[in-house]
Amino acid sequence: MSGSEVTFTQQGMWVTEQAAGGGTAYHMPLVVHLRGDLDTGALLAACAAVVDRHPALGGVVAEVGDELRLVPGAEVPVRRAAAFLADLPADTPGSPDHGPGVREEILRAFDLEKGPLARFTLFETGPGRHLLLFVAHHLIFDGQSKDILVRDLAAFYNGEPPPPLPGIDHGRAERDRVAAVLPAAREFWKPRWRDPGETVVLGRTLRSRRAGEGRVLRFTLDPQVSSVPGLTRFEVLLAALHTRLLGYGNTSVTTAVDLSTRPEQATGHIGLFVNELPVASTPSGRETFREFATALRAELREVYRFRQVPLSRALPRIRPHAALVPVSVSYRTRRAADPVFTGLDASVEWTVFNHGVRGALHLQCVDGPGGLEISLRHDPETVPDAAGVAEDLRLLLERATDDPDLPLHELLENEWVPSPR
């Protein structure tokens, strides 16, 4: 029952869940579409083999003595849905994502004390068509874990089981790494962190840092839109978001970014290896987009030095919240094609909506072979016009990509009003 030590992120998320509850904002769904002559027995066996391979999937966070540990929980269910499910595209106007059966599984609450914190459900959606839904709680799963799960699932289904993984105690190793840089991290964040006040978006004031029910708007950007020499697409996107927020009237901008904390020894392991940290800027509006993005890149590089240290460890007086600030970004790069399931036409939905949001506005981004997919998740009360935000961001990215040496105030056209100096 002793289990392994939890990471600082797991500890913070668990405390937040106990204090306020996250609803479905911490649910992480994934959908695999399978077309062809599926061997359902082999697929369900592959799901069970993935659970055996990755102990984190069967774990729960529990209080053991005076500390939190990841211990075995209830058995992870791998089941075939009894009812036939009509295969509805996720973007069909007015329809629930893939029908009510999938929505119900995504929304179904997890028992955080007993588990399980993951589940597989296989739906038949038509002749020769199936949909495999996987849902996990964020406590045991992250974005990169999606790639690992599908890759291992395909390997087991294809009869090519991957080699065994070495065991790790990431929580204990993380504590050693954090202790080594904690004094420097405290000095770094002390002058940088300000408790977030409000962020203005389209004339509305955003303050929410809670988790709650959300809405989603999805759009895809061509790889050339957000491409500026000398900068990564993530850096261009983040600079465009900060510029966009400047145009909405925010002279000081702070957004949160999800950063991977996955060490080399955790390569191939499913788990939670993420830390959310703030990135701040004070754009004047007079600098060019390239100059601003380059300066923001430099600030990001400084933040990366302390990516292992949760802000609450460096600044212990910070109260736990589902989101550090009202606006946040997660960004993941996928260069490989979707894994192959032998004899099947398979496709994966990597950004399935969980019907929740952390904070007021969150951009979940997957930079893949088909372009930059953005899932704009928002609180419908504070950000009712998500389409306006998406269009504003897209247009700004197009202008910045076309001429990155334009001053920010020209990119924003007539929106920008310089603050008194």
List pLDDT tens digits, range 160-184.
Answer: 999 999 988 888 889 999 999 999 9
- The dihedral region occupied by 65, where left means phi > 0, alpha psi between -120 and 50, and beta the remainder, is left
The answer to whether the beta carbons of residues 338 and 150 sit under 8 Å apart is yes
The answer to whether the beta carbons of residues 322 and 22 sit under 8 Å apart is yes
Mean pLDDT of 24-37: 97
List pLDDT tens digits, range 113-142.
Answer: 999 999 999 999 999 999 999 999 999 999
Report pLDDT for 94: 35
- Helix/strand/coil for 202: coil
When mean pLDDT is compared across 16-20, 104-108, 155-159, the lowest value belongs to 16-20
Reply yes or no on whether the pLDDT at 90 is more than 50: no
> Percent of the chain scored above 70 by pLDDT?
94
List pLDDT tens digits, range 222-277.
Answer: 877 878 999 999 999 999 999 999 999 999 999 999 999 999 999 999 999 999 99
Report pLDDT for 112: 93
Question: Cα-flanking dihedrals φ and ψ of residue 232, to 5°?
Answer: -75, 160
Confidence of residue 93 (pLDDT cuts 50, 70, 90): very low
Report pLDDT for 234: 96
Q: Which two tokens stand for residue 45?
A: 């066996």
Residues whose CB falls within 8 Å of the CB of residue 4, separated by 6 or more in sequence, listed in order: 69, 70, 169, 170, 171, 172
Reply yes or no on whether the pLDDT at 20 is more than 90: no
- Average pLDDT score over the chain: 91
Report pLDDT for 419: 46
Mean pLDDT of 74-78: 97
The answer to whether the beta carbons of residues 328 and 278 sit under 8 Å apart is no
* Complete DSSP assignment for 127-149: TTEEEEEEEEEGGG--HHHHHHH
